[in-house]
C-alpha cells in the first residue's frame, strides 16, 4: 500500500491532471477503454482497470522515451556535468573526495539526485503532474518503527532492510552534491532545506525508485546467458550499472505473480500490451518477478497470497552445526571442535547459510500459473557442506564413530543428514516468537494493523515452508527405513534360499 497525503478530492484531481498531461505528450497513446482507478480501499493505491473486454495483444498505452525521467532526459546533467561524467567523456574524472565526481555515483544515486532536483523545481518541472501522483510515504519496512519490525520475528528480512546503509549512502553521495550546488537545486523561488529535510527527501525518492523505477536498457529480444528471453522487470540494480528511469503510466500498473500485461522496450517508446484476454472490470497487472513475500515487502511494501509459492527460509549453517555437534562431536573438546570448524571453513565453497525454497514452474507466456509449488528437496550445497564437516570431524578425531561410519556408508550418512536437518528445522522454527498456529489466528484478528498483518503474513509463510520441508524430510527418512527393513528381510531370507538350493 502506498501513502498519499492528499485527501480524496486532491487524489482524484491529481489523477485527472496526470491523465491530461500524459495524453498531451507527443507520441503517447492510451487505450480508450482503460482507466486509472482509486484502489486505496483495497490497499493498492492507484491501479489501471479494463472498462471493457480487451483482446490479447492489444496495445494498452505507449510511453515515448522522452517522457521518462532519467539521466538522458533531465536537464540536471547539463547543470552539474561533472557529476554525470559529461566533462571528460569517460570514467576517469577526478575524484574530489566530496561525492562530486561521477566515479562515486551510480544509476541509483543519479536518479535520486534527478528526482530531488525535479521535485524542488516545483511548477517549473516538466514532470510536475507526474511527480504529484507519486507517493510521499511508504509501507516498506525501511519506514517501520522498532515495534513494527519486531513483528517480523526471526525472518531473514530483518537483516536486509538496510536503513543504516541507505543513510550512509545519502550522507556521502547525495547531500555533498546538493550542498556543493545549492544554486542549482534551490532555485531563486524554492525553499532551502536543512540536512534532516534533505535526508528525508532522499529516502523518499530512494524508496520511490525501489518500487517504481524501470531498468531502461533492456531490449525486447535481449537474451540472458542461457539464451532465454529475459522479462523486462522492475529491477533493483544493486551494482548501479544499468540506466534507471521513472516511467509515467507504466508505473501505475500494480503487479502479482499471475499477471496479464507486459511492458515492451522499443527504441523510441515503451509499450504496454495485453498478454491475454482481460475481462471488463479486471485490473491490468504487471509482473515484478518470482519474489518471496519478504522481498516483495522489502522492495514494494505489500504481500500477496500468489507470491507465497516463492517464499524462502534461510537456514544459518550455525544451527545445522549445533545439531551435528550434538550427534557426532558431543564428546569432543571445544578446542577440537574449533579445529573441525577451521578445517571445514577453509573450504572455499563454505557457506554461512542455505536458502530453502519450493520448486515452482514459471508463469506461462500469458502470465498464468498451472500447478502448485511444492517443497521437493534440500539444496545440494547443504548436503555437500555436511559431508565436508564430517570429513573434518574424522580428521580431527578418527574415533568419532558415527562420523566415520557415515563417511563409509551412504545410507548411514543420509540418515544422519536428514535427522540433523530435521532437528535444525525445528530449532529454526523455535527462533520465531509465535507458532504457525498462532499466526493463522492472528491473520484474521480484528485488532491487527496493516503493517502487522503483512509481517505476520511473511513470518507465517516462512513457517509454512519449514513445515513442508519437515514433512519432506520425514518422508525421506521413512523411505530410508523401509529400504533398510526390506534389505533386512532379503538378508533374512537369503540363507534359507541358499539352503533350499543346496
Ligand atoms: C509501480 S507502483 C504501482 C502503482 C501504485 N499503486 C500507485 O498508486 O502509484 C508499485 C506500488 O504499488 C503497490 N502495489 C503494486 N501491486 C500491488 C498489489 N498487488 N497489492 C497491493 N499493492 C500493490 C505497492 O505499494 C507498490 O510499491
pLDDT in tens, 463-479: 999 999 999 999 999 99
Rounded Cα gap, residues 329 and 340, in angstroms: 10
Burial class (CB in 10 A: 0-12, 13-18, 19+), 492: exposed
47 close to ligand 1 (CB < 6 Angstrom): yes
Q: Which atom from ligand 1 is nearest to the alpha carbon of 134?
A: 9
The DSSP output letter for 61 is E
Helix axes 450-501, 410-430, angle to 10 degrees: 160
Cβ of 255 closer than 6 Å to ligand 1, yes or no, is yes
1 lines ligand 1 (CB under 6 A): yes
CB of 252 sitting under 6 A from ligand 1 = yes
Q: At 137, is the secondary structure helix, strand, or coil? A: strand
Distance of CA 448 from the midpoint of ligand 1 (Å): 21
**How many Å apart are CA 138 and CA 115, to the nearest integer?**
16
pTM: 0.91
Write down the pLDDT at residue 29: 98
- Nearest residue (by CA) to ligand 1, atom 16, is 254
Contacts of 222 (CB under 8 A, 6+ apart): 229, 230
> 43 CB under 6 A from ligand 1?
yes
54 three-state secondary structure: strand
Q: How far apart are CA 131 and CA 295, in angstroms?
A: 26
Confidence (pLDDT) at 487: 87
pLDDT at 222 over 50: no
Between 101 and 305, where is the model more confident? 305
In angstroms, rounded to a whole number, what is the distance separating the alpha carbons of residues 296 and 476?
32
Residue predicted with more confidence, 334 or 491: 334
HEC sequence for 63-81:
EEHHHCECCCCCCHHHHCC
In this prediction, residue 56 has a pLDDT band, given cuts at 50, 70 and 90, of very high
| Ligand 1 centroid – CA 351 distance (Å) | 35
The pLDDT assigned to 201 comes to 98
Which of 246, 250, 170, 192 has the alpha carbon at shortest distance from 215?
246
Alpha carbon distance 335, 130 (integer Å): 63
* Ligand 1 atom closest to residue 4's alpha carbon, by position in its atom list: 8
How much of the chain exceeds pLDDT 70, in percent? 87
State the DSSP code for 284: P
Please give the pLDDT value at position 308: 98
Instruction: Give the angle subtended at the CA of 21 by the CAs of 20 and 26, to the nearest 5°.
Output: 110
256 CB within 6 A, ligand 1: yes
What is Dmax (Cα atoms) for the chain?
Answer: 109
254 lines ligand 1 (CB under 6 A): yes
Domains and CATH numbers, the chain: 2-265+274-300 (3.90.1410.10), 311-501 (3.90.1420)
Which triple of cell numbers denotes residue 16?
A: 485527472
Calculate how far, in angstroms, residue 285's C-alpha sits from the geometric centre of ligand 1. Answer: 10
Q: How far apart are CA 61 and CA 53, in angstroms?
A: 16
458: Cβ–Cβ under 8 A, 6 or more apart, which residues?
Answer: 152, 155, 157, 293, 294, 297, 303
Please report which helix (H) or strand (E) contains residue 215, including its range.
Answer: strand 214-215
CA–centroid distance, residue 45 to ligand 1 (Å): 6
The answer, yes or no, to whether any atom of ligand 1 lies below 6 A from the CB of 212, is yes
Atom of ligand 1 minimally distant from the CA of 299: 27
What phi-psi label fits residue 153: left (phi over 0), alpha (psi between -120 and 50 degrees) or beta? Answer: left
Mean pLDDT, rounded, for 110-120 = 97
| E strands in 9-91 | 29-30, 34-38, 46-50, 59-64
Question: Distance (Å, rounded) from C-alpha 58 to C-alpha 60?
Answer: 6
DSSP 42: G
pLDDT for 499: 39
Local confidence band at 188 (pLDDT 50, 70, 90 cut-offs): confident
Task: Measure the CA–CA gap between 225 and 368, rounded to whole angstroms.
Answer: 25
Question: Which of residues 95 and 350 earns the better pLDDT score?
Answer: 350
- The verdict on the CB of residue 451 being under 6 Å from ligand 1 is no
Angle at 279 between CA 277 and CA 280, to 5 degrees: 140
Contact 318/285 with Cβ under 8 angstroms? no
- The burial of 249, by beta-carbon neighbours within 10 Å (0-12 exposed, 13-18 middle, 19 or more buried), is given as buried
DSSP for 433-475 reads: SS-HHHHHHHHT-TT--HHHHHHHHHHHHHHHHHHHHHHHHHH
| Residue 261: its H or E element | strand 261-265
Q: How far apart are CA 418 and CA 415, in angstroms?
A: 5
ipTM of the complex: 1.00
Phi-psi region of 410 (alpha: psi -120 to 50; beta: other; left: phi over 0): alpha
> What mean pLDDT value characterizes the chain?
90
SS3 316: strand
Task: Report whether residue 14 contacts ligand 1, using a CB cutoff of 6 Å.
Answer: no
Query: If you take atom 20 of ligand 1, which residue's CA is the nearest one?
Result: 44
Q: Is the pLDDT reported for residue 284 higher than 80?
A: yes
CB 217 within 8 A of CB 267: no
Pocket test for ligand 1, best of 302, 305, 367, 457 (most atoms within 8 A of CB): 302
Residue nearest to atom 15 of ligand 1 (CA): 254
Distance 496 CA to ligand 1 centre (A): 71
With a 6 Å cutoff on the Cβ, whether 302 touches ligand 1 is: yes
46 lines ligand 1 (CB under 6 A): yes
Amino acid at each position: 500500500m502506498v501513502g498519499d497525503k492528499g485527501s480524496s478530492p486532491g487524489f482524484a484531481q491529481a489523477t485527472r491532471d496526470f491523465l491530461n498531461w500524459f495524453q498531451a505528450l507527443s507520441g503517447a497513446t492510451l487505450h480508450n477503454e482503460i482507466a486509472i482507478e482509486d484502489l486505496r480501499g483495497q490497499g493498492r493505491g492507484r491501479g489501471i482497470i479494463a472498462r471493457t473486454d480487451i483482446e490479447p495483444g492489444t496495445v494498452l498505452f505507449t510511453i515515448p522515451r522522452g517522457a521518462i525521467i532519467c539521466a538522458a532526459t533531465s536537464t540536471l546533467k547539463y547543470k552539474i556535468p561533472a557529476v554525470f561524467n559529461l566533462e571528460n567523456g569517460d570514467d576517469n574524472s577526478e575524484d574530489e573526495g566530496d561525492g562530486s565526481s561521477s566515479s562515486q555515483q551510480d544509476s541509483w544515486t543519479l536518479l535520486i539526485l534527478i528526482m530531488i532536483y525535479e521535485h524542488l523545481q516545483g511548477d517549473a518541472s516538466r514532470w510536475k503532474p507526474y511527480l504529484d501522483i507519486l507517493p510521499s510515504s511508504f509501507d516498506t519496512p525501511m519506514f517501520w518503527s522498532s515495534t513494527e519490525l519486531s513483528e517480523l520475528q526471526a525472518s531473514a528480512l530483518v537483516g536486509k532492510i538496510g536503513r543504516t546503509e541507505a543513510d550512509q549512502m545519502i550522507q556521502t553521495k547525495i547531500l555533498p552534491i546538493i550542498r556543493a550546488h545549492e544554486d542549482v537545486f534551490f532555485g531563486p523561488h524554492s525553499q532551502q532545506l536543512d540536512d534532516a529535510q534533505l535526508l528525508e527527501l532522499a529516502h523518499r525518492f530512494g524508496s520511490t525508485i525501489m518500487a517504481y523505477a524501470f531498468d531502461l536498457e533492456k531490449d525486447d529480444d535481449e537474451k540472458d546467458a542461457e539464451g532465454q528471453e529475459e522479462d523486462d522487470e522492475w529491477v533493483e540494480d544493486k551494482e548501479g550499472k544499468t540506466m534507471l528511469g521513472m516511467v509515467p503510466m507504466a508505473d501505475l500498473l500494480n503487479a502479482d505473480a499471475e499477471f496479464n500485461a507486459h511492458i515492451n522496450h522499443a527504441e523510441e517508446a515503451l509499450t504496454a500490451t495485453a498478454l491475454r484476454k482481460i475481462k471488463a472490470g479486471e485490473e491490468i497487472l504487471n509482473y515484478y518477478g518470482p519474489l518471496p513475500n519478504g522481498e516483495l515487502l522489502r522492495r514494494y511494501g505489500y504481500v500477496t497470497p500468489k507470491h507465497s509459492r516463492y517464499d524462502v527460509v534461510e537456514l544459518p549453517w550455525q544451527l545445522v552445526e549445533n545439531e551435528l555437534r550434538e550427534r557426532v562431536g558431543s564428546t569432543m573438546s571445544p578446542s577440537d571442535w574449533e579445529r573441525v570448524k577451521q578445517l571445514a571453513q577453509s573450504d572455499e565453497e563454505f557457506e554461512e547459510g542455505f536458502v530453502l525454497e519450493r520448486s515452482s514452474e514459471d508463469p506461462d507466456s500469458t502470465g498464468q500459473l498451472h500447478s502448485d509449488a511444492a517443497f521437493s528437496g534440500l539444496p545440494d550445497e547443504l548436503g555437500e557442506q555436511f559431508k565436508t564437516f564430517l570429513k573434518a570431524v574424522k580428521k580431527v578425531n578418527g574415533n568419532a564413530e558415527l562420523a566415520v561410519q557415515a563417511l563409509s556408508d551412504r545410507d548411514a550418512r543420509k540418515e544422519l543428514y536428514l535427522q540433523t536437518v530435521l532437528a535444525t528445522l525445528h530449532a529454526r522454527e523455535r527462533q520465531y516468537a509465535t507458532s504457525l498456529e498462532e499466526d493463522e489466528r492472528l491473520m484474521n484478528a480484528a485488532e491487527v494493523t496493516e503493517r502487522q498483518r503483512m509481517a505476520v503474513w511473511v513470518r507465517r509463510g516462512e513457517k509454512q515452508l519449514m513445515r513442508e520441508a519437515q514433512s519432506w524430510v520425514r518422508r525421506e527418512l521413512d523411505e530410508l527405513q523401509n529400504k533398510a527393513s526390506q534389505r533386512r528381510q532379503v538378508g533374512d531370507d537369503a540363507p534359507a534360499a541358499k539352503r533350499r538350493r543346496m
